Amino acid sequence: MPDFYAVIGNPIHHSKSPIIHKEFARQTHQNMQYEAILAPLDGFETAVKRFQQRGGKGMNVTLPFKLEAYVISTRLTDRANAAQAVNTLKFDENHGILGDNTDGAGLIRDIEVNQSVVIADKSVLLMGAGGAARGVILPLLEQRPRILAIANRTKEKAQVLQEQFSSHGNILTGHYQDFSGERFDIIINATSASLHDELPPLPTGIFAEKSTAYDIMYGKELTPFLRFAKQQGVSNLVDGIGMLVEQAAESFFLWRGVRPETRKVIEMLRKKGQ
């Protein structure tokens, strides 16, 4: 009898998690099944409980339920607690729910391992102060960057994050234009601007020499941010497909205790045109 896992979201038809986890299971010889569940916008908790009662062992959680997943978790990992959002649930035998957040670890692994870009001592600019940005701040600070700056349209939201994470490291915050004249080695777009084919109002000249432009969004074409970076002379342009696969691998590891090989899965998704 296989163990059951699922990704839950709304919408969910676009999710690549079933393809990724099936490939991980095949590769590591795990007897498991993985499905996609569409939950009504007002029916997240009911859908999770139903899956748990059916004998489900764990779930991935995607938009717009990461906050609700945080609320229904009976225990949290430190990184989920810091992110105040949960993308991975692990059910235990006593109906308890462990909530984890693997997004930040996925991002760091993609940057450091897959891209061979070391974050320590680099100047890093994180764009955005929403759920995705919140989830990557602690993992970024743990890599000891020289500077971590957060730029956001609504400056106050970045300041709230600065205060929340002040005991973990020094963070600068501001509007995009406040960083005019500064140069960064790694710039990460964690806004939802790319979803609307928009570019956050970054000043020109913000990329240091040999810098990396990282967009946590992915698609067939370069995002507006990656196109801007290219025009500014950046050659290391990275989209979020690697982060997606790495965060999935981190969830898989939490559930199964085995770390799958990610490189081939990233290549497979790229070949499929994502």
**Residue from 67, 113, 118, 195 in contact with ligand NDP (CB under 6 A):** 195
C-alpha 85/C-alpha 77 separation (Å) is: 11
CB of 62 to ligand NDP, least distance (A): 8
Residues 63, 135: Cα–Cα separation, whole Å: 14
**Whether residue 22 lies in the annotated active site:** no
Q: Does 224 bind ligand NDP (CB under 6 A)?
A: no
According to DSSP, the β-strands at 32-38 and 147-151 are unpaired
Residue of 6, 89, 213, 216 that binds ligand NDP (CB under 6 A): 216
Strand ranges for the chain from DSSP E: 3-9, 32-38, 56-61, 75-76, 88-91, 97-100, 123-127, 147-151, 171-174, 184-189, 207-215, 236-238
Which residue's C-beta sits nearest to ligand NDP?
Answer: 130
The size of the interface with ligand NDP (CB under 6 A), counted in residues, is 24
What's the token pair of residue 184?
């960064």
Q: Alpha-carbon distance 155 to 191, whole Å? A: 13
Helix, coil or strand: residue 61: strand
CB of 54 to ligand NDP, least distance (A): 27
Euclidean distance between the first and the last CA atom of the chain, given in angstroms as a whole number: 31
Q: Pick the catalytic residue from 57, 66, 90, 122.
A: 66
Q: Which is nearer to ligand NDP, 30 or 194 (CB)?
A: 194
For ligand NDP, which residue of 76, 125, 206, 217 counts as binding (CB under 6 A)? 217
Upstream peptide bond of 64 is cis (omega within 30 degrees of 0): yes
Q: Which is nearer to ligand NDP, 77 or 191 (CB)?
A: 191
Which 231-270 positions form the footprint of ligand NDP (CB under 6 A)?
240, 243-244, 247
- Among 114, 192, 232, 236, contact with ligand NDP (rule: CB under 6 A): 192
How far is residue 262 from each of residues 117, 128, 140, measured CA to CA in Å?
17, 27, 21
Stretch that binds ligand NDP, among 39-47, 191-199, 205-213, 230-238 (CB under 6 A): 191-199
Asked if 77 is part of the footprint of ligand NDP (rule: CB under 6 A), the reply reads no
**Is the Cβ of residue 22 or residue 49 nearer to ligand NDP in the bound state?**
22
| Cβ neighbours, 10 Å, residue 2 | 11
Do residues 226 and 236 make contact, with C-beta atoms less than 8 angstroms apart? no
| CA dist., res. 120 & res. 235, Å (int) | 20
Q: How far is the CB of 191 from ligand NDP (least distance, A)?
A: 3
d(CA 78, CA 65): 19
Tell me: does residue 198 bind ligand NDP (CB under 6 A): yes
Smallest distance from ligand NDP to CB 209, Å? 25
Which spans of this chain sit near ligand NDP (rule: CB under 6 A)?
103, 128-133, 152-154, 157, 190-193, 195, 198, 200, 216-217, 240, 243-244, 247
Query: Catalytic residue numbers?
Result: 66
